[in-house]
Amino acid sequence: MDIIFFIVIGGLWGSFANVCIYRLPINKNIALGRSYCTNCKKKISWFDNIPVLSYLILRSKCRNCRKKISFQYFLVELLSILNFTVIYLLFGITLTTILLIILSLAFLIIFFIDLKHYIIPNSITYPMMILGFIKSFDPNLNSIFPNYINSLIGGIFGYAMIWSIIYFYKQIKKKDGMGLGDAKLFAVIGFWFGWISIPFIIFLSSIIALIYVLPDLLKNSKKMSSQIPFGPFIIIGTIFYLVFQDYFVQLI
């Protein structure tokens, strides 16, 4: 029964993530009013707002105007369910599970906002920095989390590394490269997983981003200086680091 509970709440929080993904970039209050169709503006009834199932039952169309509903809504809810379920299966009903679920939800929101709008909201990164540091004072958490000293160093190191890259790139190229949102996201990662995670995740995210843009570079449809949303690659790199953490640490 526990796994059913995590599937259900994963879907519900995935639905909330969709609200954040839509409303945060346009500075709209995420707690104000029910969800509505972005085309006809009619409020969505509760029975048309059941995570995953409503999308399938309605065949990805609004009941009122028949406008196609973006696949993103379905995908975000599905990924949220997957995140909640996998974290529960790995860590059980523990404080570590609760913390990782919160972080996974924040990552999900950041991923899709940055992918579309090229921004990483401070309203997500700042609370995650604070929570990442506060939780490091609990010595009984899973070993994937650092102590408060490594957490503090990690947060500062994560931000400073990306800030320095941004600064020197601007001095050389006379234009902006990465954004400070990326630096704040790395600060989040540093606070949550310690300074040791930062070099690996910078390397992994850069390689993944290069693989992503390589076909466009070969076709000359993009240049090395073309803007890409780096936040999603940072998040994917973080997931790779956590999965293979023991292997990476052994390399040191």
On average, the pLDDT of the chain sits at 90
Higher pLDDT among residues 217 and 30, named by residue: 30
The pLDDT-based confidence of 223 (bands split at 50, 70, 90) is: low
Does the structure show a pLDDT above 70 at 177? no
Residue 199 near residue 154 (C-beta atoms within 8 A): no
Task: State the pLDDT at residue 226.
Answer: 63
The pLDDT-based confidence of 198 (bands split at 50, 70, 90) is: very high
Please tell me whether residues 184 and 247 are part of one structural domain. Answer: yes
Q: Which of 55, 78, 93 is the last residue of a domain?
A: 93
Higher pLDDT among residues 166 and 89, named by residue: 89
Please tell me whether residues 137 and 188 are part of one structural domain. Answer: yes
CA distance 208 to 211: 5
Average the pLDDT over each of 40-49, 70-79, 102-111, 239-248 and give the range with the smallest value. Answer: 40-49
Report the chain's C-alpha Rg in angstroms. 19
Higher pLDDT among residues 45 and 237, named by residue: 237
Largest pairwise CA distance in the chain: 58
Task: State the pLDDT at residue 225.
Answer: 57
SS3 43: strand
Task: State the pLDDT at residue 110.
Answer: 98
Range of 4-8, 168-172, 224-228 with top mean pLDDT: 4-8
The answer to whether position 102 is within a domain reads no
Average the pLDDT over each of 53-62, 76-85, 105-114 and give the range with the smallest value. Answer: 53-62
Residue 3 near residue 81 (C-beta atoms within 8 A): no
The answer to whether position 84 is within a domain reads yes
Please tell me whether residues 16 and 137 are part of one structural domain. Answer: no
The pLDDT-based confidence of 20 (bands split at 50, 70, 90) is: very high
Query: CA distances (Å), 99 to each of 70, 177, 225, in order?
Result: 29, 32, 37
Beta bridge partners of 61: 68
- 43 — phi, psi (to 5°)? -65, 145
Task: Give the domain extent around 156.
Answer: 121-252
Residue 180 near residue 200 (C-beta atoms within 8 A): no
Please tell me whether residues 82 and 6 are part of one structural domain. Answer: yes
Query: CA distances (Å), 76 to each of 20, 23, 147, in order?
Result: 11, 15, 32
